[in-house]
């Protein structure tokens, strides 16, 4: 029998990301699990209004979304534990400025450099709707035909109820193979 949990957010796990933006002249990094895909060319990151990072995003409208793998996880977890409001996190990651002006984590194997297109405010949150200007990927995570191979990259996922990071990498099936078999 199913239990009605009420209005509970159940859309987990989500990819774990570190968002980077210049705040008061320095890069700042924040761990973000509440991210989403919109259509085929927009993404969304949801940031609580008191976060230090939001100030910089409002000012420059530029940010990077760096996808976390296990190699990045310890530092990523750190930038989710401390706020730029109290601690200078600019030195946590070596970084380079992207072509649009957002700070990109050098050691991240996969990063998107984005421009804010819209801000959808909900109570206590800035939900930034982003246009992807550039996507930068380490060659080591690309397949022979130049596509991102998530089986090789193995992004870390986030789930809120157990407040846990999950591993990825195993494949369940190729898309549309199981459906076609049933036709
Ligand atoms: C696993 C994890 C996921 C998080 N996801 C989000 C998120 O999706 N949105 C958000 O606003 N804060 C999220 N946070 C909290 C921020 O990363 C944290 O409060 C951070 O210190 C804010 O940094 P800032 O004030 O320098 O911007 C998350 C923290 C953890 C540990």
Tens-binned pLDDT, residue by residue, of the chain (183 aa): 999 999 999 999 999 999 999 999 999 999 999 999 999 999 999 999 999 999 999 999 999 999 999 999 999 999 999 999 999 999 999 999 999 999 999 999 999 999 999 999 999 999 999 999 999 999 999 999 999 999 999 999 999 999 999 999 999 999 999 999 998
CB-ligand 1 contact for 35 (6 Å cutoff): no
With 0.95 as the threshold, say if the pTM is over it: yes
Residue 23 resides in a domain: yes
Give the CATH number of the domain where residue 171 resides.
Answer: 2.30.110.10
Could you count the other beta carbons within 10 Å of the beta carbon of residue 87? 14
Of 80, 81, 158, best ligand 1 pocket probe by most atoms within 8 Å of the beta carbon: 80
The residue whose CA is least distant from atom 6 of ligand 1 is: 32
DSSP H/E element including 61: none
Whether ligand 1 lies within 6 angstroms of the CB of 55 is answered as: no
- Specify if 1 maps to a domain: no
Q: What is the predicted pLDDT for the residue at 183?
A: 86
Q: Does 24 fall in a domain?
A: yes
Q: Which residues pair with 15 in a beta bridge?
A: 157
Ligand 1 pocket, residue 153 CB under 6 Å:
no
Q: Which residues contact 53 (CB under 8 A, 6 or more apart)?
A: 19, 21, 23, 28, 29, 30, 47, 63, 84
Task: With respect to residue 7, please indicate whether it lies within any of the assigned structural domains.
Answer: no
Pocket lining: 28 vs ligand 1, CB cutoff 6 Å:
yes
Q: Work out how many domains the chain is built from and give that number.
A: 1
**Distance in Å, CA 172 to ligand 1 centroid:** 30
**Using CA atoms, how far apart are residues 44 and 138, in angstroms rounded to an integer?**
23
Query: Where in the sequence is the domain holding 87, given as residue range(s)?
Result: 14-182
């Amino acid at each position: 029998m199913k239990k009605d949990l009420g209005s509970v957010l159940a859309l987990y796990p989500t990819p774990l990301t570190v968002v980077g933006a210049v705040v008061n002249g320095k890069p700042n990094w924040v761990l973000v699990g509440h991210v989403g895909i919109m259509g085929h060319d927009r993404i969304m990151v949801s940031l609580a209004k008191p976060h230090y990072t939001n100030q910089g995003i409002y000012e420059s409208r530029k940010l990077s979304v760096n996808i976390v793998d296990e190699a990045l996880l310890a530092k990523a977890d750190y930038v989710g534990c401390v706020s730029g409001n109290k601690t200078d996190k600019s030195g946590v990651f070596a970084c380079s400025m992207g072509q649009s002006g957002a700070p990109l984590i050098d050691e991240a194997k996969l990063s998107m450099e984005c421009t804010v297109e819209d801000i959808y405010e909900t109570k206590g949150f800035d939900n930034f709707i982003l246009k992807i200007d550039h996507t930068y990927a380490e060659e080591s995570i690309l397949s022979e035909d130049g596509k991102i191979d998530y089986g090789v990259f193995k992004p870390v996922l986030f789930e809120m109820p157990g407040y846990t990071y999950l591993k990825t990498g195993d494949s369940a099936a190729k898309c549309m193979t199981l459906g076609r078999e049933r036709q």
